[in-house]
Amino acid sequence: MDQYRRIFENLHTAILTLDNQLRITSANPACEMLFAQSRNQINLQPISSIIHTPQLLESLNEALKSGHPFTSRSCQLILLNKNESTVDYTITPIDDSKTEDIMLLELNPIDRLMRLAREDKILNYQVTNRAVIRGLAHEVKNPLGGIRGAAQLLEKELPGQNLHEYTDVIIREVDRLRALVDRMFGPNQPLNLEAISIHEILEHMIRLLLAETKDGISFHRDYDPSLPALEGDKDQLIQAILNLARNSIEAMKNKGELIFRSRVQRQFAIGNIRHRLVIQLDIEDSGPGISPDLIESIFYPMVTSRPEGTGLGLSIAQDIVAKHNGLIEVTSQPGQTIFSVFLPLEHTNEF
Ligand SMILES: Nc1ncnc2c1ncn2[C@@H]1O[C@H](COP(=O)(O)OP(=O)(O)O)[C@@H](O)[C@H]1O
Ligand SMILES: [Mg+2]
């Protein structure tokens, strides 16, 4: 029995037993994690006082009545403390007259799996993006060089000054296209790595932003002062984060709140690599949010919702962060958009 107890205590799946009033009669430590409450706090509490998801409560009542087990996938749990978590759950009525326990409820949080799947998609995008842009850059830039050279030769041969305006157009447009292709590719220089403080980068950037924005935007800092230094390319990281912050300011139309938050995450996976320490930098704004049909594609180059936009800011930012083995993620709803930049600290920690 002891061995079963040990297994129960160590499972990652949150397991509860309930009596015929749907009160909690036992719970394993995974429940404490999920509900952010101790076992003493939840013991003998009605399950409905802890989980507020109508679908789950209905299924429990149904299973209690019918005696049939029930499984549901990707259910959004609404918890007492307003936290939310996505779980797969199984309800199993136990036919055991010796004990009070009538039902077994297993809750398997899948947020993390969903996040990993989403990140995988972003990282794949990124690889495809780069390949497409590299191919395009090559195909476009080579002939452009030829066209420019030919236009210059032609210019010299032209008899009249008035015809120069045509060759000027050719040269100007060629230069514009070349600059566009270069910008799409992002900063093409290799990383110039040095030990830097992420807060130094943020402060530098806030100074730039203060100079260019109106008073309607208020800046807030929520820093974790204990963050260790990061090995990174200062200029490129400033550019990446500046692109995110400028988008926020544009989205808020010069009125709203911009929060810079820094945290450290331990044992954090980016793609399929688990890092011991990762810096999480959130840029949060109170703007209108990103529409659901746009959010899947905003990291692609040339995707923009603004008439004067280039759609390159996010793809360049993602690219720079990816070169630092990191990732940018986004969550958005009206009134709250958060871009989270994850940067692993591998090079600087001394484990
Ligand atoms: N903080 C934000 N709030 C709302 N929408 C945003 C935000 N950041 C990015 N977006 C959306 O993502 C699109 C792409 O951004 P970006 O790649 O920087 O290109 P651009 O700024 O040139 O449009 C924007 O046009 C906008 O629709
Ligand atoms: Mg932009």
pLDDT tens column, 137-185: 888 888 999 999 999 999 999 988 888 999 999 999 999 888 888 777 7
DSSP single-letter state for residue 135? H
Per domain, the residue ranges of the chain are 2-109, 114-185, 194-344
Q: Judge whether 137 and 181 are in contact, CB under 8 Å.
A: yes
Helix (H, G, I), strand (E, B) or coil at 115: helix
Rounded CA separation 47/13 (Å): 17
Mean pLDDT of the region 54-64: 93
Cα of 96 vs centre of ligand 1, distance in Å, is 58
Rounded CA separation 276/351 (Å): 9
- Of all atoms in ligand 1, which is nearest to the CA of residue 294? 27
Ligand nearest to the CA of 251: 1
- CATH number corresponding to 2-109: 3.30.450.20
> Does residue 138 or residue 72 have the better pLDDT?
72
The reply to whether ligand 1 has any atom less than 6 angstroms from the CB of 304 is: yes
Question: What pLDDT band is residue 287 in, cutting at 50, 70 and 90?
Answer: very high
Rounded CA separation 321/242 (Å): 12
Helix (H, G, I), strand (E, B) or coil at 333: strand
pLDDT by residue (tens digit) across 226-274? 999 999 999 999 999 999 999 999 999 979 999 999 999 887 878 778 8
Question: What pLDDT band is residue 348 in, cutting at 50, 70 and 90?
Answer: very low
Question: What is the pLDDT of the chain when averaged over all its residues?
Answer: 88
Question: What pLDDT band is residue 220 in, cutting at 50, 70 and 90?
Answer: very high
The reply to whether ligand 1 has any atom less than 6 angstroms from the CB of 243 is: yes
**CA-based angle 165:169:171, to the nearest 5?**
115
Question: What pLDDT band is residue 198 in, cutting at 50, 70 and 90?
Answer: very high
- Top-level CATH class of 194-344? alpha beta
Ligand nearest to the CA of 249: 1
Cα of 304 vs centre of ligand 1, distance in Å, is 6
Cα of 191 vs centre of ligand 1, distance in Å, is 25
Mean pLDDT of the region 83-90: 86
Asked if pLDDT for residue 347 goes beyond 50, the answer is no
| Range with lowest mean pLDDT among 57-61, 79-83, 200-204, 329-333 | 79-83
Residue with the two structure tokens 């905003």: 298
The reply to whether ligand 1 has any atom less than 6 angstroms from the CB of 319 is: no
Mean pLDDT of the region 123-127: 76
Cα of 200 vs centre of ligand 1, distance in Å, is 25
